[in-house]
Amino acid sequence: MQVLDLKPHGDEKIQALINQADLLRKMFNCCELHLFLGLNDNRCFKLARRAIISQLSWSEKTPTGKKRKETCIKCFEGTVVLQMYSVDGCLHRFCFSCMRKHIQEKLLTGMVVKCPHDGCTVQLIANSCKKFLLLNLVSLMSQPMEEAAIPIEERIYCPYPRCSTLMSKRDVLKCTKESFARAQGCRKCIGCQLYFCIDCEVPWHHNMSCSDYRRSNPNTVKSLAREKMWQQCKKCKIMVELVDGCYHISCWCGYEFCYKCRAVWKKRKPTCNCGDKRKNTRQ
């Protein structure tokens, strides 16, 4: 077996290959190390991956000729090498079928999709899963990463049910070129191109101010929230009602904030002076 004797230099993929190659080396009674000099990172990566896969796969005769197969460590089935997926960042390998089931299960529970290997925390990259996933699942995987790229206070969703595009307030402002619309709080969705009110977060109410709209639509969630003094989680946008206790709110999505001023809690400590005792909330 050949492995690369390289020193770590910040490249996570190369370092992961070195670690995996070292683990494989310990499994053999005899292993010869080769040092490759003058090669770029991409070629080193390909050589090391080829060396590792060669130890885990075998040739098998089929009606259409010989094929390389590999055992999936999740289902323990022999799978054609071309139907195996190598996770970027950790290089753990699983068959397409196991990967599909794993991703679907995590998406259904609303969890971040990570490598199926026990104890591995590497997050899967949606675009690299296109080879075995339907496009709608790739889109669902991408959404949490898109949300994470936009600061919580900048996030806004299109209020039209058929769109619901995630946007940043800054991008929405750029998309809305009409100066009169900007002044009135009217914005254009960068997805469906329809107008909506950024203050009320509803489809645009023509010829009606925000206060008039709220008075004429008292049963909207926003109106009820103001009347009952509910607060909205900045991360998942769910409405929270304080029943008893102090102002420390731990939302179901994991975001912590102050119920009184909505200031974020960091490391289970407030960034405001409103209070930090025990609480009881309804969501």
Query: In Å, what is the CA distance from 29 to each residue of 1, 25, 32, 190?
Result: 11, 8, 10, 61
CA 222 – CA 239 distance, rounded (Å):
9
Domains of the chain with CATH codes: 78-148 (3.30.40.10), 155-217 (no CATH), 226-270 (no CATH)
Instruction: Find residue 95's DSSP bridge partners.
Output: 84
The confidence score (pLDDT) of residue 30 equals 67
pLDDT at 8: 46
Closest CA to 91 of 42, 48, 40, 141: 48
Q: What is the pTM of this model?
A: 0.43
Q: Which pLDDT value is given to residue 2?
A: 42
pLDDT tens by residue, 108-132: 766 778 899 988 889 888 888 888 8
Distance CA 46, CA 31 (A): 19
Q: What is the pLDDT of residue 281?
A: 46
Looking at residue 59, its pLDDT comes to 77
* 237, 128, 122, 41: CA torsion to nearest 10: -140
pLDDT of residue 110: 64
How confident is the model at residue 95, as a pLDDT? 93
Distance CA 92, CA 195 (A): 46
Alpha carbon distance 80, 95 (integer Å): 9
Do 192 and 158 meet the contact criterion of CB atoms below 8 Å apart? yes
pLDDT at position 94, please? Answer: 93
51 with 64: CB under 8 angstroms?
no
CA distances from 108 to 134, 137, 258 (A): 15, 10, 30
CA 206 to chain centre: 37
Question: What is the arrangement of strands in the sheet containing 231-232, beginning at the earlier edge strand?
Answer: 231-232, 239-245, 279-282
pLDDT at residue 84, as a whole number: 92
Block means of pLDDT (10 residues each) for the chain, length 283 residues?
44 69 69 61 61 63 80 85 89 91 81 86 87 81 70 80 82 76 79 88 86 77 71 76 80 79 82 61 47
192-193-195 Cα angle (round to 5): 110
CA 149, CA 189: separation in Å to the nearest integer?
A: 18
Amino acid 171: pLDDT:
85
